[in-house]
Amino acid sequence: VEDEVKSSLINFLAKLSNNKGKSGLLLGWNSSSDPCKDHWKAVTCDTRNNFVRKLFLNSSNLVGELDIGLLCNVERIAESLTVLHLESNDISGVLSPDVASCKQLTRLHLNGNRLNGTLPTSLAMLNNLKILDVSNNKLYGTLPDLSRISGLTVFLAQNNEISGEIPRFDFSNLKQFNVSNNNINGVVPDVRGYFTASSFLGNPGLCGDPLPNKCPSSLQAESVAGESKDSSKDQIFMFVGYLTLALVFVVIIIVVLCKRRRKKKVVDALPQKEEAIEDGQDERMYKSSTIESMGYKAGFSKSETSFVSADNSALVSSSLVVLTSPEVNGLKFEDLLKAPAEMLGRGKNGSVYKVILDNRKTLVVKRIKNWPISSHEFKQRMQRLDQVKHPNVLPPLAFYSSKQEKLLVYEYQQNGSLFELLHGTHMPKTFDWPSRLGVAASIVEAMAFMHQELQDDGIAHGNLKSSNIFLNRNMEPCISKYGLIPVITRSSSPKAFKDDVFGFGMILLELLTGNLVQHNGVDLQDWVHSVLREEWTAEVFDKSLMSECASEERLVSLLQVAIKCVNPSPEARPTMNQVVVMINKIKEEEERSAIGPYSL
Ligand SMILES: Nc1ncnc2c1ncn2[C@@H]1O[C@H](COP(=O)(O)OP(=O)(O)OP(=O)(O)O)[C@@H](O)[C@H]1O
């Protein structure tokens, strides 16, 4: 490490410790040794190039003054320093605008000191910043506008003397936000339900949702007026945007109209009500309707429907085939048709409805249009799937098949999907590390079982993702929609099974990071790789896992399994059986550590 870097680090620490050069206080840093090669205390370096990466000077009894320029004005430091921990000391002084030169900073922890002055607006130039914690200081002045920092996930500034209004933030990106107990005034911006009142309380001049005190209408109007003034430039962009959208919309309508005209000529079977719903002409019909009223008479009449067992179903082509699950014993098509139905979702290949039967049993009917699979093959597949039952796989309960559409009936899962559990706004506090590991183990066990049973039939899951994993009434994972993919030719079949392994790897990454598969246009696996390349492994993990002190060793082991599963080359990915072995090993280690060494 160059002399300039060394002397700047020493001077920075000396100033923080009030120039009291006591050796203990200075952590033994001295100019005759090397911060990286001699492993200075509290310093982490990049082993490849000996650049200083992280400084851990938190809780170090530092009572001096902060001079961030001593670090950030040295190019070699500014270009490599990613993490700076100074929290829980007694440091005074101000954070100078020089901080902006430390461009690589991802975490800046200054909380729990006596810092005063205003946060510099130049903080907005720290494009890589993810965590900024300045809480519990004596900061005043207004908050800088950090909305340009797209990756900021934590902003904490509570318990200061900050005034002015809350500037713009991208609340959808933030995982933690707190400005409580300051002197902030004005209207709370639209936090879209991401944060509760506790993030804003203790600011007498602040009002509006989610705070209990409503804003006086004059203030509300002022804020709207203010916003509109600020956003005059935005409005021009928005106008251009809307114009483009309108044009696209017109083009789409023309294309849809042309298509519909062509379709009408070929198949004239769908009744008009159905078309209206599918084209979104009458949204009100979705709710409190029945499947029948939604046009499920399409292509067949009620009188044609009949209850038939799986065994002789192939003889009756236009009937609901009820499979062997006892839950739907005696289900008739009429029962489905007359039951109240609610649309849960609609994709490009069909829609999903929640149906409540007379006996209060709640089902889900998935309707798939134009699935390129012959009715014969579809029936064979459903009946094969019916033979292969696993407690963590949601079996199809019944199905209907015609040339244009297929219907599939599943049991409704009221606890929602794994996707909602991980990324929804109502995430319970209890989705801790042991539960996540348990969920991963159950999914992979079930998938390995299904693969083993169905490999010869060439039936893979085909779309394994967290939104297709539901939580049953015991909060155990249940894999849904197994095998709902186009027919796989024998030659492509091994790849489909390895694609399931990829899907499972992505679920592991979601469980470990708490992030979405796609975020701001970046694929989760690419993001994870980029963080690992930089040797910032701990930064990958979900903050809530870190804060509950989950074993980093086992988090890393599971991460390694995930990385193997998402290998770009399908052949290099492990089989589901191999993944089971790897995950069970981690689970056993976890269980051993929970029992503890003395209880044996
Ligand atoms: N068995 C079920 N129980 C409860 N909710 C369900 C069930 N099946 C689907 N849903 C819900 O219905 C909605 C639409 O389901 P669908 O399967 O079409 O989801 P999708 O993930 O958008 O589709 P795709 O997998 O084709 O991309 C989702 O909100 C899903 O959570």
pLDDT digits (tens, 9 = 90+) for 442-488: 999 999 999 999 988 889 999 999 999 999 888 889 999 999 875 54
HSE, CB side, 13 Å, CA atoms: give it for residue 381.
24
Q: Does the C-beta of 480 come closer than 6 Å to ligand 1? A: yes
Q: Does the C-beta of 204 come closer than 6 Å to ligand 1? A: no
Residues making up the annotated binding site for ATP are 366
Q: How confident is the model at residue 25 (pLDDT cuts 50, 70, 90)?
A: low
440 Cα: distance to centroid of ligand 1 (angstroms): 20
345 Cα: distance to centroid of ligand 1 (angstroms): 7
Tell me what pLDDT residue 379 has: 87
Tell me what pLDDT residue 132 has: 95
HSE, CB side, 13 Å, CA atoms: give it for residue 132.
23
- Closest approach atom of ligand 1 to CA 480: 1
Tell me what pLDDT residue 310 has: 34
Q: Does the C-beta of 463 come closer than 6 Å to ligand 1? A: yes
Q: What single letter denotes the amino acid at residue 170?
A: D
CA neighbor of 511 nearest in space, from 434, 446, 447 = 434
| pLDDT surpassing 70 at residue 227 | no
Task: Mark 261-291 as b/e (b = at least 16 C-beta within 10 Å).
Answer: eeeeeeeeebeebbeebeeeeeeeebeebeb
Q: What is the 3-state secondary structure (H, E, C) of 108-139?
A: EECCCCCCCCCCCHHHHHCCCCCEEECCCCCC
Which residue bears the tokens 């009620």? 302
As a whole number of angstroms, the distance between CA 414 and CA 94 comes to 52
Window from 106-110, 240-244, 587-591 with minimum mean pLDDT: 240-244
373 Cα: distance to centroid of ligand 1 (angstroms): 21
* H or E stretch at 155: strand 154-156
- Closest approach atom of ligand 1 to CA 463: 25
Residue 407 pairs with which residues in a beta bridge?
A: 367, 400
Task: Give me the interface pTM, i.e. the ipTM.
Answer: 0.96
At 157, list the tokens: 């500034």
What residue's CA is closest to ligand 1, atom 14?
345
Computed over every residue of the chain, the mean pLDDT equals: 80
Q: Does the C-beta of 419 come closer than 6 Å to ligand 1? A: no
- Closest approach atom of ligand 1 to CA 413: 3
* Total residue count of the chain as it appears in this document: 600
- Closest approach atom of ligand 1 to CA 467: 21
- Closest approach atom of ligand 1 to CA 350: 18
Q: Does residue 185 sit in helix, strand or coil?
A: strand
Check residues 364 and 428 and name the one with the higher pLDDT: 364
Whether the CB-CB separation of 56 and 45 falls below 8 Å is answered with no
CB atoms within 10 A of CB 22: 7
Check residues 254 and 141 and name the one with the higher pLDDT: 141
Q: Does the C-beta of 532 come closer than 6 Å to ligand 1? A: no
As a whole number of angstroms, the distance between CA 512 and CA 561 comes to 11
What residue's CA is closest to ligand 1, atom 23?
347
HSE, CB side, 13 Å, CA atoms: give it for residue 106.
12
Whether the CB-CB separation of 485 and 464 falls below 8 Å is answered with no
Q: Report the pLDDT averaged over residues 92-116.
A: 94
At 273, list the tokens: 């009500």
CA neighbor of 374 nearest in space, from 362, 382, 366, 365 = 382
Tell me what pLDDT residue 292 has: 53
Number of H helices and E strands in the chain, helices first, is 16, 21
What does the angle CA 72 – CA 153 – CA 53 come to, to the nearest 5 degrees?
35
Q: Does the C-beta of 364 come closer than 6 Å to ligand 1? A: yes
For residue range 190-224, what is the model confidence (pLDDT) as tens digits? 887 788 888 999 999 999 988 988 888 776 655 55
| pTM summary value | 0.53
| pLDDT surpassing 90 at residue 153 | no
Q: Report the pLDDT averaged over residues 167-195.
A: 88
Q: Is 31 exposed, middle or buried (0-12, 13-18, 19+ CB in 10 A)?
A: exposed
Tell me what pLDDT residue 263 has: 44
Tell me what pLDDT residue 491 has: 45
| pLDDT surpassing 50 at residue 107 | yes
Q: Is the dihedral of CA 265, 267, 272, 276 positive or negative?
A: negative
Q: Does the C-beta of 415 come closer than 6 Å to ligand 1? A: no
310 Cα: distance to centroid of ligand 1 (angstroms): 25
Window from 118-122, 362-366, 423-427 with minimum mean pLDDT: 423-427
Q: How confident is the model at residue 24 (pLDDT cuts 50, 70, 90)?
A: very low
Tell me what pLDDT residue 489 has: 47
Rg (CA), the chain: 30
Q: What single letter denotes the amino acid at residue 518?
A: Q
Q: Does the C-beta of 472 come closer than 6 Å to ligand 1? A: no
At 437, list the tokens: 């590991």
